[in-house]
Amino acid sequence: MREQGEALERLGAVVLVVTFEPPSEAARFAQQARLPFTMLSDPDRRAYAAFGLRRGRWGQVWGWNTATAYLRGLLAGRWPRPPRGDLGQLGGDFVLDREGRLVFAHCGRDPADRPAVGQLLAALRTVAGRGD
Amino acid sequence: MRTIPQPKAPRPVPAPDVEFLDPEGRSVALRRWRGTPVILVFLRWLG
């Protein structure tokens, strides 16, 4: 997503990244990762719940998809950090139009289940095409 | 010849009206970004 900054700018979109960690941790992460997006916190996970994002079962969190995702990371030189925090909380990706309506929704079924950035951009383009 | 009716595309539904905390701990509502298309990414743990 970071590499699609120009495309996002052309589409006039903003990327909001949400964590359930407290604001201080969110700020630390955003600074260390040099995140070019707005970082927000949802420590009570009310927004997570409102968008249908739940905690995964053990088999969802530590399944085959997760193992292969970590393996790909290792092969790319990314060592996993020691686990801390709630490993069970699943993530998701959503696209909202200018009226605050959902035009794309993806609730992750396991930690590695995320939509391709192209899918998010395609959803944004439908919004731009409608002139919303 | 019978024409098979095509399903209409579902109408977008309003996103939940939620609030977050910014890095300074101040409350900020998602509706603050009305007027702008938004990609909303909910993360897993920050490890």
Query: What are the chain A neighbours of B31 within 8 Å (beta carbons)?
Result: 100
Residue B45 to residue A41, Cβ atoms within 8 A: no
3-state SS assignment for residue A107:
strand
Q: Measured at the alpha carbon of residue A123, what is the angle toward residues B35 and A120, in degrees to the nearest 5?
A: 105
Shortest Cα distance from B5 to chain A (angstroms)?
23
Of A15, A43, A84, the CB nearest to B21: A43
Per-residue pLDDT tens for B1-47? Answer: 666 666 666 677 999 999 999 999 999 999 999 999 999 999 987 55
Of A15, A25, A30, the CB nearest to B41: A15
Q: Provide CATH code, domain A2-127.
A: 3.40.30.10
Per-residue pLDDT tens for A77-103? Answer: 877 666 666 778 899 999 999 999 999
Residue A45 reports pLDDT greater than 80 = yes
Is ipTM beyond 0.90?
no
pTM: 0.81
Closest CA to A28 of A92, A85, A113: A85
Task: State how far the alpha carbon of B26 is from the alpha carbons of A18, A20, A99, A127, in Å.
Answer: 14, 15, 24, 30
Q: Would you call A29 an interface residue with chain B, using a CB distance cutoff of 8 Å?
A: yes
**Domain definitions of chain A by residue range:** 2-127
Residue A17 reports pLDDT greater than 70 = yes
- Type of residue numbered A110: D
- In this predicted structure, what is the pLDDT of residue B43? 92
